[in-house]
Amino acid sequence: MTLNLLPASTADYRRLAKQRLPRALFDYIDGGAYAERTLAANVADFEAIALKQRVMRDVSRRDARISLFGEDWAMPLALAPIGLGGMMARRAETLAARTAEKIGIPFCLSTVSICSLEEVAKAATKPFWFQLYMLKDRGHVRDLLARARAVGVKTLVFTVDLAVMGARYRDMRNGMGGGLSRLGRLRLAADYAAHLPWAYDVGIRGKPHVFGNLASYVPRASTPADFGGWVAAQFDASVTWKDIEELRRWWEGPLVVKGVLSPEDARAAAGAGADAVIVSNHGGRQLDGVSSSIGMTPRVADAVGDRIAVLMDGGVRSGAGILRALALGARAVLIGRPWIWALAGRGERGLSALLKTIKAELDVAMALTAAPTAAAITRDVLDVSETPPGLAQPHLTLAKNGASDGTRTRDLRRDRPTL
Ligand code: FNR
């Protein structure tokens, strides 16, 4: 038992977020689709990749910086788009943009953020990224792109893995989709009220709780629930690679396609004019049972890595995770849950401390695998004799150790079918 005075790891920030947030909000961040097997695999498969320690190689100079999309990054890490961020910490998206800027990494604003493009732009002094969901009303899409351009966004992230929405059982159980009895609504309200610091800081002082980017298109909506129905009806399941070609004509800056999980789709994205893909299964929130992101990263990188940049997200919880992803062919990674846990748990200073911790850990991992620059991180930093063969031929591989970030990996592993 330690004093636990200061959070150190991603898992610590998750614990703090759990204490501070009303249950339904914590579960919204933490949960995944259906039985959460892909969510667990995202984390567990990272941990199963053994690193190869190398010594006596003069690693006195180390440099994790990269350049991508015309930007200089302090390390190969960006903050992934998270919907409803401003429900977890007061005006969370402005805090994230500011913190990312101070550390020197990109922040990507979600279409369904609480803070609008314009509000984030006021808090930031450098361009941030914008993530777009294709809406049925292309007029709104054109308008959103024009607004993004007007506030200086250069990099557009187009998310393609939400043609329909996967069910998240935790959200259903918590009544996030409605359908609660009167007693259920009372219990929900009581839980919100019981989290007093959140209720005062975010619930009251953090208003308005609207989808900032969409508010002008849905003028009568005033709560996230009002927007939820509109957004669900606006998601366009008819989108194809042709739409990316069209988007390519509308957007002159870097275009990043997020949510690709196969070499075939990565090739199609490159063919449609994307500058990069993000290997992603939406943090295990869409189709449960698909492979982990890190499991698919080498195959996507082998397929298109020489034509476009391959990024990945899902399960990155540490600086050593960044090193593993780069070793398997990613140029950079994104984190989703960790940044919102840190903001929810400890605000801006929490996120700042977490990013510094991740950077320091990456630095140690680079030093002790004798890969002192991002470019020097190759498959040589991995101990392939110790890494499950599933990561070369990826499936839902079994981790040797349980996840250290608190996701329910151990329980799930027991349930997981052997593949
Ligand atoms: C997401 N993600 C997401 N992606 C996106 O393109 N637009 C969005 O609005 C959201 N919203 C969102 C909300 C929450 C609460 C989570 C956890 C995730 C997916 C996100 O960008 C990213 O792909 C995953 O979070 C990466 O996995 P990790 O880092 O959370 O394991």
Of 418 and 8, which is predicted with more confidence? 8
pLDDT of residue 232: 87
Task: Pick the catalytic residue from 140, 209, 282, 395.
Answer: 282
pTM reported for the whole predicted model: 0.93
As given in the structure block, the two tokens for residue 85 are 């961020």
Q: Is the CB of 29 under 6 A from ligand 1?
A: yes
User: For ligand 1, what atom is nearest to the CA of residue 29?
Assistant: 15
Quote the ligand 1 centre to 398 CA distance (angstroms).
Answer: 23
| CA of 392 relative to ligand 1 center, distance in Å | 25
- Residue 103 has a pLDDT of 98
Q: Is the CB of 159 under 6 A from ligand 1?
A: yes
Q: What is the whole-number distance in angstroms between the Cα of residue 20 and the centre of ligand 1?
A: 20
The tens digit of pLDDT for each residue in 59-69 reads 999 999 999 99
The CB of 213 under 6 Å from ligand 1? The reply is: no
Mean pLDDT across 29-43: 98
Model confidence at 107: pLDDT above 80: yes
pLDDT for 335: 99
Chain centroid offset of residue 186 CA: 32
| Cα 257 to middle of ligand 1, angstroms | 14
Ligand 1 atom showing the smallest separation from residue 81 Cα? 21
- Tell me, yes or no, if 282 is annotated catalytic: yes
Nearest ligand 1 atom to alpha carbon 108 = 21
* β-pairing verdict for 129-132 and 108-109: parallel
| Angle between helix 241-250 and helix 263-271 axes, rounded to 10 deg | 40
pLDDT at 386 over 80: yes
Q: What is the reported pLDDT for 390?
A: 64
User: What confidence tens digit (pLDDT) does each residue in 302-332 have?
Assistant: 999 999 999 999 999 999 999 999 999 999 9
Mean pLDDT of the chain, nearest integer: 92
> How many C-beta neighbours within 10 Å does residue 42 have?
30
Name the β-bridge partners of 260: 279
Topology of the domain comprising 10-168+232-413:
TIM Barrel (3.20.20)
Contacts 24+ apart (CB under 8 A), 349-355: 350/7, 350/13, 350/16, 351/95, 351/96, 351/99, 352/99, 352/102, 352/103, 353/7, 354/7, 354/10, 354/13, 355/77, 355/99, 355/100, 355/103, 355/105
Q: Answer whether residue 419 shows pLDDT above 50.
A: no
